[in-house]
Structure 1
């Protein structure tokens, strides 16, 4: 039994109405997964060939090794760019899906009046809206999970010297729970925009903009979602794989000063006098260790799901008021 045949009621209608869009989306997802696998395998092969050459990455072992190392680094940088482009597409997916839900899925039916046919065939407005939310949520969440897992596997298996750190937007926003949370938020915002605006193009634009703006906002505010760890001292012994959030100078009474306060000092003596004039006795670093990845993910996911719940509650309330 096919998936379409197994579906009942308004969910089946939604899939049937937009089957070509869903087929295209599925095809693009398969192409993306195949591309990830191909690039990851190629990247691993290039790394193995370079390792077999016994040439150092930083050169200095003769002209032939320098050429080999440069070719290796150029190739790995190119592969990292491919992964970043795929991550950017995955980050844009919630805005695209949000626009699809707001415009073609909901606002177009309200604009053209085709929703009346469903509502007069023993399908309540609430069931109609539930189907409009459930179908894209199930299908696109499944696709997002596959793409996110594939991208994580491709990154981790490529052994790239230019690999992005865990806290960069390309990595953080495309792994863990964040992709699903942003997608659910986008779907709920799309439903609300479609019901409020009731004009296909305008609802699509507004919904995609709001969802995209939320993603950009979290990129800038993410560091403040969880308490930071702090390192202080006359010299900071900084470990790798941490997210530098803020660094600067400390005075004798613990006041924090800007890191660039004495940058204009030309000589070491001028810098020493600048430190003495401002009573700088040490330095500080606010950072997130890699162990903060999941707390940050959970807080961001919780905020997005709360906002999504508010949006969908308002959407059903608007629907009830307009349908009596």
Structure 2
């Protein structure tokens, strides 16, 4: 009898996998778009991180100063001693942050499509790998979150840094640098400017030319915002009828004064310089009596409207950004290649 035994054949080896779950990674066209523009994306994220770290450092210095003055238990007059350097620092930082939408539009928005259209990469991608609509959607789908993350972070940190100052001097909140860099406004401005740059680049199809045109577009947006932002509020008027010698009436705390004028007995308003050049004091008084001036009229915006004005302005900018996005897709589906 044979003692030979049959041994089963060895089973094929299975690949060894790690016990932990795999980290999510970009793939396909999303990976391609990120890799193509990774220098711009990482630069924007890194600069945002540096700006946030610097502003948090400045906020810590401000809080140390206020705490040394007894904040928040002592009198506000005590807190505000020697505060001017800190106010000046916040305003200078605010001026720098006004450039964020301009820089993002020029260096991120304008080249996003113009570079591929100028080099011919867009035609290669959309004829071999994906439809124009998918290519556009992926481009914007990767870029927009980066813009939103950066501007939301800057807005939140700015608000945290400036709140101790604006709580003590609410009028500071009306300043262009504070009003524009807090709340939803910086996000809306940056999105509109970046998407505007994308549209400009898609139409012009030349990177350098698109960047130049986008720069002027972004500056025009900032100028228009600064010029008309206060028109978003509902102006309130306060009047007096006890003469003008006592001066204009006091406004509510932190209100923003729009205009001062004289008011007549009939309710008509006249410029505050009316009768100034009449001559002597008696002549001025006689002029005022002749015109029926009985008191002051002061137009102002109450502080309670500020948040609503920011959201209204941001909503308009978001709507414009949505309109530009729709234009990009409508134009791009037929003319992008």
Q: Common fold, TM-score beyond 0.5? A: yes
Q: Which runs of 4+ in 1 moved over 3 A?
A: 47-52, 56-59, 157-164, 262-271
Report the equivalent of 2:197.
190
Report the equivalent of 1:100.
107
8 A contact 1:101–1:132 mirrored in 2:
no
8 A contact 2:171–2:255 mirrored in 1:
no
The one of 232, 240, 243 aligned to 2:239? 232
Q: How far does residue 96 in structure 1 lie from its aligned partner after superposition?
A: 1.5
Number of equivalent positions: 309
Distance across 1 between alignment mates of 2:90 and 2:22? 34
State whether structure 2 residue 122 is matched by structure 1 residue 133. no
Report the equivalent of 1:313.
326
The one of 151, 157, 173 aligned to 1:150? 157
The one of 109, 112, 116 aligned to 2:119? 112
- Alignment map for 1:259-274 (pairs within 5 Å): 259-264=272-277, 268-274=281-287
Distance across 1 between alignment mates of 2:105 and 2:308? 26
Structure 2: 5+ residue stretches without partners: 1-20, 242-247
Could you give the per-residue CA deviations for residues 224-283 of structure 1, whole angstroms, max 9, x where no partner exists? 223211111135232220111122111222212112224446764344223223221121
State whether structure 2 residue 98 is matched by structure 1 residue 88. no
TM-score, structure 1 as length reference: 0.84
8 A contact 1:101–1:194 mirrored in 2:
no
8 A contact 1:152–1:175 mirrored in 2:
yes
Distance across 2 between alignment mates of 1:102 and 1:256? 48
State whether structure 2 residue 229 is matched by structure 1 residue 222. yes
- Alignment map for 1:243-282 (pairs within 5 Å): 243-264=256-277, 268-282=281-295
Distance across 1 between alignment mates of 2:108 and 2:55? 27
Distance across 1 between alignment mates of 2:198 and 2:135? 12
Report the equivalent of 1:66.
none
User: Which has more radius of gyration?
Assistant: 2
| Shift in alpha-carbon separation, 1:252–1:183, aligned structure 2, 3 A | same
Aligned to 1:284, what secondary structure does the other structure show? strand
